[in-house]
Amino acid sequence: MLQKIPSLNQLVHELSRLPGVGPKTAARLAYHILRSPDDFVQALREALKGVKEKIHECPECFSFTEEQDVCHFCKDMMRAQDSICVVEDPADIERIESSGVFRGRYHVLHGAISPLDGISPQDLKIQALLDRLSPGPEGEIRVTEVILALDADLEGDTTVLYLAKILKDMNIKTSRIAHGVPIGGDIDYIDYRTLGRAIENRVQV
Amino acid sequence: MLQKIPSLNQLVHELSRLPGVGPKTAARLAYHILRSPDDFVQALREALKGVKEKIHECPECFSFTEEQDVCHFCKDMMRAQDSICVVEDPADIERIESSGVFRGRYHVLHGAISPLDGISPQDLKIQALLDRLSPGPEGEIRVTEVILALDADLEGDTTVLYLAKILKDMNIKTSRIAHGVPIGGDIDYIDYRTLGRAIENRVQV
């Protein structure tokens, strides 16, 4: 039947381009949308328009923002100016903020170095990060500490190694977030690589 | 961070109203959409508009259609006129068509009788079905067989019982689709109710 309703096919096609949405899920969503009231569909269309028209990258940290100029993190003078947390994606900032532990600035790389996917340091916001880390016009040190909060995968590790080397030469205190057993995690169920890292990075009590 | 980007929040809110999309999935989809090219978002918005503007219910069988008048099933004179397959949802038609076994007309109830959810026969397209089944203006029999292809749950069973009683009085041959072990199914893994039904409805070989 689907092939006889072109509009429905079209919506299934568009929805199935979303991540994690296969043809069956897309068809289920499309039928749901078809049965939904007009105002829901209108609200969804407006929301889609809104994110594309109103949101832009912060020129300072490259996170997403709806503010006129820089984002509210870069604008917030109550946050530490000399500490930058480097993340892969804007969504990561939200997770870190919810921990409530970090109160400095952020910098979004928009990805990680991945030779296999053809992503080199030039494709990421690495030069912009180095510009932020370099001394000010009168030679004053602006940033003293960088925390690398990148994913614990091959690409994240590669990016950490790449940045650590450069930052060491710049004399900036650099750390990466710890890997280990998750809080509430049962050691029985932790993979051996995580457990190995947790033992290596043991903390004195 | 989310609460600081109203447009993104709005999109997450709208997406999380879709079935099977929780807040985390909605946030993931919203970030993906934010990073997508403008033309994808535009295409998605157009597709959403299309399904609401172009698709309507067929006045004959109440399936969805984009045709001017009745749907292509009701229009198709090559299909048997005297046999109607009753389904709960338009999407069910697609499944039945893919089996290739049925070549008659359809009738969509748009749900099933469910006293718990306050859905009574009056809320479904049951009167319209009875109108289709009643003899023509000159007393000629138009429909001789009705196949009930409703879900194998409490609501489906209730609706089958309700319709079977009425159709029996109308002298229309009524059947429901068989329940049993799925093709390729392993008896070890079939629940006892299905297996019981499969034994009751055993077919001579």
Give me the tens of pLDDT residue by residue for chain B, a chain 205 residues long: 455 788 999 999 999 999 999 998 999 999 999 989 999 999 999 999 999 999 999 999 999 999 888 999 999 999 999 999 999 999 899 888 888 889 999 999 999 999 999 999 999 999 999 999 998 888 888 899 999 999 988 999 999 999 999 999 988 999 999 888 888 878 888 888 888 888 888 877 7
* Complex ipTM > 0.90: no
DSSP assignments along B11-58, one per residue = HHHHHTTSTT--HHHHHHHHHHHHHS-HHHHHHHHHHHHHHHHH-EE-
AA letter at B32: H
A5 part of contact set with chain B, CB < 8 Å: yes
Q: Is the four-CA dihedral B199, B201, B203, B204 of positive or negative sign?
A: positive
**Window 55-94 of B, Cβ < 8 Å to A:** 55, 63-66, 71-73, 89-91, 93-94
What average pLDDT score do residues A54-76 get? 91
Question: What is the per-residue pLDDT across A10-59, written as a single tens digit (0 to 9) for each?
Answer: 999 999 999 999 999 999 999 999 989 999 999 999 999 999 999 999 99
Quick one: tokens of B144? Answer: 């001789």
Quick one: tokens of B152? Answer: 């194998």
Element (DSSP H or E) covering residue B6: helix B6-15
C-alpha angle A58-A63-A68 in degrees, rounded to nearest 5? 30
Give the predicted TM-score (pTM) of the model: 0.76
DSSP assignments along B96-154, one per residue = HHHHT---SEEEE-SS--BGGGTB-GGGTTHHHHHHHHS--TTS-----EEEEE--SSH
- The phi-psi region of residue A111 (left if phi > 0; otherwise alpha if psi is between -120 and 50; otherwise beta) is left
Question: What is the per-residue pLDDT across B84-114, written as a single tens digit (0 to 9) for each?
Answer: 999 999 989 988 888 888 999 999 999 999 9
Pairwise CA distance, residues A3 & A150, whole Å? 44
Q: What is the pLDDT of residue B54?
A: 92
AA letter at A10: Q
Pairwise CA distance, residues A122 & A140, whole Å? 27
What average pLDDT score do residues A88-107 get? 90
Domain annotation for chain B: domains and CATH numbers:
10-54 (1.10.8.420), 78-176 (3.40.1360.10)
| Beta-carbon separation of B5 and A34 below 8 A | no
Residue reference for tokens 């381009």: A17
**Window 6-25 of A, Cβ < 8 Å to B:** 6-8, 10-11, 13-15, 17-21, 25
Question: Exposure of B112 by Cβ count < 10 A (0-12 exposed, 13-18 middle, 19+ buried)?
Answer: buried
* Largest Cα–Cα separation, chain B: 71
Q: What is the pLDDT of residue A3?
A: 54
Q: What is the pLDDT of residue B135?
A: 87
Q: Find out whether B119 and B112 touch, Cβ atoms under 8 Å.
A: yes
